């Protein structure tokens, strides 16, 4: 992979991250904050790929100023997610809802006040990273994907439904996020079934969301046992689906994606 390709990809993803941040700073739109954080995850995944396939270290360290902003934004996002869960499960707890809304409003106001500082830090980080990007051999990228898929396969063969399962999702998402960038390197080495991997990581994400929701609604502040029972019952089906999807992981992950013919 040529450094020019890497730089072009970095700039494109960075510009999209900046666009979402600027829109959030102007409007306070929570969906824009979410998209901003997703872009940070994509960039972190890219830098992780570069570090793992080259002798260049320190890329993730240089990215730390942006990751700090991600963390600050996470407090606002968590409260917004809690309200969404409350609405989804028809929870009636005015005290809880008001508390989460207060976190969102105060957090958003504080975040927007620091907006210029955040934009400056992001700009400086971008310049620093562009100087550090290494040139990576395509064979090393293909080898990285192969080893990561083998690691995930091993994890899924022994992992039960604990936080380790959520970590498997993170590993899968790194590969999925980087697939567009790595596609040329993978071509001719092995197939990468993005559709299957997306389906699996989405199912794991659904399971984890339900776990978080059950913990939230079990807390002394809420303690809504009927809602928790409903969530746990739903999650039992999700777990069965994940177990089915995870079977023969390596075979499915490297299978040729089926082409669906769409006729009018």
List CB contacts of 84: < 8 A, sequence separation 6 or more: none
Higher per-residue confidence, 191 vs 246: 246
Mean pLDDT of 145-163: 92
Which residue from 139, 135, 75 is spatially nearest to 108, judged by alpha carbons? 75
Angle between helices 30-52 and 163-186 (to 10 degrees): 70
Q: Considering only 124-128, 137-141, 202-206, 241-245, which range has the smallest mean pLDDT?
A: 137-141
Instruction: Report d(CA 182, CA 176) in Å as an integer.
Output: 10
Question: At 255, phi and psi to the nearest 5?
Answer: -80, 155
DSSP per residue over 88-126, as a string? HTT---HHHHHHHHHHHHHHHHHHHHTHHHHHHHHHHHH
Exposed (0-12), middle (13-18) or buried (19+): which is 90, by Cβ within 10 Å? exposed
Over its C-alpha atoms, the chain yields an Rg (Å, rounded) of 21
Residue 13 near residue 46, CB atoms below 8 Å: yes
> What is the average pLDDT value for the chain, to the nearest integer?
92
Percent helix, percent strand, percent coil in the chain, to nearest 5: 80, 0, 20
The whole-number pLDDT of residue 255 equals 87
Per residue in 187-199, pLDDT (tens digit) is 867 789 999 999 9
DSSP letter assigned to residue 39: H
Which residue from 188, 194, 191, 66 is spatially nearest to 124, judged by alpha carbons? 66
Which residue from 51, 55, 53 is spatially nearest to 43, judged by alpha carbons? 51
The whole-number pLDDT of residue 88 equals 87
Mean pLDDT of 91-117: 94
Residue 190 near residue 254, CB atoms below 8 Å: yes
Give the residue carrying structure tokens 């990228």: 141
Residue 135's pLDDT band, with cuts at 50, 70 and 90, is confident
SS3 assignment, position 257: coil
List CB contacts of 247: < 8 A, sequence separation 6 or more: none
Per residue in 203-227, pLDDT (tens digit) is 999 999 999 999 999 998 898 999 9
How is the chain split into domains, by residue range? Answer: 1-136, 138-264
The whole-number pLDDT of residue 107 equals 97
Q: Considering only 63-72, 115-124, 175-184, 185-194, which range has the smallest mean pLDDT?
A: 185-194
The whole-number pLDDT of residue 263 equals 35
Residue 92's pLDDT band, with cuts at 50, 70 and 90, is confident
Residue 188 near residue 252, CB atoms below 8 Å: no
The whole-number pLDDT of residue 89 equals 86
Question: Is pLDDT at 165 greater than 60 in this prediction?
Answer: yes
Token pair belonging to 251: 């075979």
């Amino acid at each position: 992979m040529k450094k020019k390709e890497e730089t072009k990809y970095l700039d494109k993803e960075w510009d999209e991250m900046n666009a979402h941040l600027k829109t959030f700073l102007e409007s306070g739109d929570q969906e824009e904050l979410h998209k901003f954080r997703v872009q940070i995850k994509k960039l972190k995944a890219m830098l992780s790929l570069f570090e793992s396939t080259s002798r260049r270290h320190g890329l993730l360290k240089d990215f730390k100023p942006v990751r700090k902003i991600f963390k600050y934004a996470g407090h606002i996002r968590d409260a917004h997610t809690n309200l969404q869960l409350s609405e989804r499960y028809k929870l009636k707890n005015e005290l809880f809802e008001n508390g989460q809304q207060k976190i969102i409003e105060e957090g958003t106001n504080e975040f927007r006040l620091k907006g210029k500082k955040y934009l400056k830090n992001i700009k400086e980080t971008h310049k620093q990273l562009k100087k550090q990007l290494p040139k990576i051999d395509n064979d090393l990228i293909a080898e990285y994907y192969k080893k990561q898929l083998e690691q995930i396969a091993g994890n899924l063969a022994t992992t039960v439904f604990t936080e380790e399962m959520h970590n498997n999702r993170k590993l899968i998402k790194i590969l999925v996020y980087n697939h567009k960038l790595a596609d040329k390197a993978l071509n001719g080495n092995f197939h990468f079934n993005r559709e299957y991997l997306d389906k699996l990581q989405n199912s794991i994400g659904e399971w984890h969301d339900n776990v978080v929701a059950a913990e939230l609604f079990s807390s002394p502040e809420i303690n809504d046992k009927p809602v928790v029972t409903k969530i746990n019952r739903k999650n039992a089906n999700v777990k069965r689906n994940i177990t089915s999807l995870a079977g023969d992981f390596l075979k499915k992950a490297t299978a040729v994606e089926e082409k669906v013919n769409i006729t009018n």
